[in-house]
Structure 1
Amino acid sequence: MYEDGAAVLQMKKVFLKDEKYNRKKYMTRIKNYDPQQEEMTLYTSRGDVDEFSLDAVYECIFEVKEGRFGCEGVIRKRFRSQEKDQVVFRIQNGFYKV
C-alpha cells in the first residue's frame, strides 16, 4: 500500500532528560508496512541509522497516490544489512492527513 514511497522522519520529543534533541530531517523510503503490527520498515541513507534514538518520538510524513499523510511513533529497531540501512518504526495513534 505504501511501499516504495518517500518518507521524512523528524524527532518530536525525547523521553530521557539526558537524550540530545535532534532537529535533523531524515529522508527515507518505505520498504514495507505491516498493518497488524502497525509498523513500517524504512530504508535510510548510509550512516544515518546510528543517529536515530530509540528513546524518542518521531513524526513520519509520507506521500502516496491517495495524498499526503503523517503519523507519530517510535523507532523499535535500527540496523544495517547488506542491502541498506533500515529502521523499524512503530506507529502510535494511526495516520492523519497532512
Structure 2
Amino acid sequence: MYEGCPVDLKMEKVVSIDAVFDEEVHCAKVYKYDMEEDFIRLLLEGENLSVISLDAKYECVIGTKTELLSCSGTVKERFQCEAGDMLIFKIENGFYTVSSDGK
C-alpha cells in the first residue's frame, strides 16, 4: 500500500533510563506495510542500524503522492538482509494526516 514511499523517522522519547535521546531525523523507505498486524518494514537509507534505538518511541512520517501520514510506534527489530538495513516498526495508534505546514 505504501511500498516505496519515503519516510522520516524521528525519536519522540526514550523508554530506557540509560538511553540517549536522538534529535536527528532518519530517512527510510517503506519496504512493506502489514495492515492486519500494524507493522511497517522500513529500509534505512544512508545510516548505520545502530543509530536506531530499540528503547525509544518514534514518529514515522510517510510521504505519499497526495499527503503526509504520521504514526507513532517503536522499532521492534533491526537487521541487515539482502534488501538492505531493515527496521520492523510497530504502529501504536494508527495514522494521522499531517497538514502541509507540518502540524
| TM value normalised by structure 1 | 0.94
- Tell me, yes or no, if structure 1 residue 97 matches structure 2 residue 97: yes
Q: Distance in 2 between matches of 1:82 and 1:67?
A: 30
2:58 is aligned with 1:58: yes
TM-score by length of 2: 0.90
Kindly report structure 1 stretches of 4+ aligned residues shifted beyond 4 Å.
Answer: none
Gaps of 5+ in 1: none
Match of 1:34 in 2: 34
State the match for 1:44 in structure 2.
44
Counterpart-to-counterpart distance in 2, 1:19 and 1:45 = 23
Superposition deviation, residue 46 in structure 1: 4.7
Distance in 1 (alpha carbons) for counterparts of 2:82 and 2:47: 13
CA distance in 2, matches of 1:92, 1:48: 25
The root-mean-square deviation of aligned C-alpha atoms, in Å, is 1.1
One-letter identity of the residue aligned with 1:36: E
Determine what percentage of the aligned residue pairs are the same residue.
32
Separation of aligned partners in 1, 2:70 and 2:87: 17
State the partner residue of 1:6.
Answer: 6
Deviation per residue, 1:30-68 (Å, 9 max, x gap): 001001110000001254211111110000011113411
Larger strand percent: 1
The answer to whether the 8 A contact 2:29-2:45 is kept is no
